[in-house]
C-alpha cells in the first residue's frame, strides 16, 4: 500500500530522514517508535503529502506522491484518516455532531450521516455518549471520538501520531485496543509513538527510528522476558 524508496528529507540543514526504505502492506498494523525528533511525524507527513521528499520516492498504491498535483492531494487524502496527540474536537458540538460534521465536510448526505454516525460511535464503544459534549468526556473517550471522526470517510489507512501521548495507562491501552480492532476490520494502521512498552505488548510489526534512520525492524514486537 505504501512504499518508501530511499527517502531523504531535510529541514534546512537538519536531515530529518535519511535513506528510508519501507514497505507497508494493505491490512497491516505497523508501529513506528523512536525518541522525540527521531522523524516519526515527518514520515507520516510524507504519506499525506504535507511534506515532500528531497530524494527518493513515496508511493501510495503505486502512485508517486511527488507526481500528484497539489490540487489533487485531497483525493489522495480521502484514503487516509489521521489522529493526533492533541485532540481537537469541536467543543460546542456533541460526540454525534463531531463525527457528523466530518461526514458533512466530506460531502455525505444527511440521511446517510444519520445512519452512519451511530455505527461509527458503536464501533468506538461510545454510542451511549452521543449527546455528550467533549468537556463531559474523559481524555480517553475524547480520543476515541477523534478516532471515530477520522473514520467518517471510511479511509483505507488510519495514521495515528502519538495518539496516547496525553493519556494515562488505562486510557492509552483502550485507544490501542481500538486501533487493533479497526485494523482487524480491514483498515491499515500506522501508529507513531514513544511508547515502546505499549507496542511491544501487541506483538505487531515495529520499526524503530533514530536520527531519521531505521535502526531496527521487528515482525512481532519485542518479547519481554
Ligand atoms: N517544519 C520543520 N522545520 C524544521 N525542522 C523540522 C520541522 N519538522 C521537523 N523538524 C525536525 O526534523 C526532525 C524530525 O522531527 P519529527 O517531528 O519528525 O520528529 P518526531 O519523531 O515526530 O518527534 P516527536 O516524538 O517529538 O513528535 C527533528 O530534528 C525536528 O526538529
Ligand atoms: Mg512527532
Nearest CA to ligand 1 atom 30: 37
Q: Which of 32-41, 98-107, 132-141, 192-201 has the lowest mean pLDDT?
A: 192-201
Ligand nearest to the CA of 193: 1
Q: What is the pLDDT of residue 222?
A: 64
Task: Return the best residue to mutate from 4, 15, 16, 82 for the ligand 1 pocket (most ligand atoms within 8 A of CB).
Answer: 16
Write down the pTM of the prediction: 0.95
Mutate to test the pocket of ligand 1, among 7, 9, 11, 17 (most ligand atoms within 8 A of CB): 11
User: How many whole angstroms separate alpha carbon 30 and alpha carbon 22?
Assistant: 11
Superfamily of domain 1-79+190-225: P-loop containing nucleotide triphosphate hydrolases (3.40.50.300)
Output the average pLDDT for the chain: 94
Tens-digit pLDDT profile for residues 10-62: 999 999 999 999 999 999 999 999 999 999 999 999 999 999 999 999 999 99
Q: Among all chains, which residue has been given the C-alpha cell 491501552?
A: 173
Residue 224, pLDDT score = 45
According to DSSP H, which parts of the chain are helical? 40-48, 73-77, 95-105, 110-123, 139-150, 169-184, 196-202
Give, in order, the Cα–Cα distances in Å from 3 to each of 65, 130, 154. Answer: 10, 38, 22
Enumerate residues lining ligand 1, CB below 6 A.
11, 14, 16, 34, 36-42, 194
Residue 126's alpha-carbon distances to 121, 122, 123, 163, in angstroms, are: 5, 6, 8, 17
In this predicted model, what pLDDT tens digit does every residue of 60-106 receive, in sequence order? Answer: 999 999 999 989 888 888 899 999 999 999 999 999 999 999 999 98
The domains of the chain are located at 1-79+190-225
C-alpha cell at 37: 525528533
Q: Is the pLDDT of residue 223 over 60?
A: no
Bridge partner list, 70: none
* 162 Cα to the center of ligand 2, angstroms: 7
Which amino acid residue places its CA nearest to atom 4 of ligand 1?
11
Pocket test for ligand 1, best of 35, 36, 37 (most atoms within 8 A of CB): 37
Amino acid at each position: 500500500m505504501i512504499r518508501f524508496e530511499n527517502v531523504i528529507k531535510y529541514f534546512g540543514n537538519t536531515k530529518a530522514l535519511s535513506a528510508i526504505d519501507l514497505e507497508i502492506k494493505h491490512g497491516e498494523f505497523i508501529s513506528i517508535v523512536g525518541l522525540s525528533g527521531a522523524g516519526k511525524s515527518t514520515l507520516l507527513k510524507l504519506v499525506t503529502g504535507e511534506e515532500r521528499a528531497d530524494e527518493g520516492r513515496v508511493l501510495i498504491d503505486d502512485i508517486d506522491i511527488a507526481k500528484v498535483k497539489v490540487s489533487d492531494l485531497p483525493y489522495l487524502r480521502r484514503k487516509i484518516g489521521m489522529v493526533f496527540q492533541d485532540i481537537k474536537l469541536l467543543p460546542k458540538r456533541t460526540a454525534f455532531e463531531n463525527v457528523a460534521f466530518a461526514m458533512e465536510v466530506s460531502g455525505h448526505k444527511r440521511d446517510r450521516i444519520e445512519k452512519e454516525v451511530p455505527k461509527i460511535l458503536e464501533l468506538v464503544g461510545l454510542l451511549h455518549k452521543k449527546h455528550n459534549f467533549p468537556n463531559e468526556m474523559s481524555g480517553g473517550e475524547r480520543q476515541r471520538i477523534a478516532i471515530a471522526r477520522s473514520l467518517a470517510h471510511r479511509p483505507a489507512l488510519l495514521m495515528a501520531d502519538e495518539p496516547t501521548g496525553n493519556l494515562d495507562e488505562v486510557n492509552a491501552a483502550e485507544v490501542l485496543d481500538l486501533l487493533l480492532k479497526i485494523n482487524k476490520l480491514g483498515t491499515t494502521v500506522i501508529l507513531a509513538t514513544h511508547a515502546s512498552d505499549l507496542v511491544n505488548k501487541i506483538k505487531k510489526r515495529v520499526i524503530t527510528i533514530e536520527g531519521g534512520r531505521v535502526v531496527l525492524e521487528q515482525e512481532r514486537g519485542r518479547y519481554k522476558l
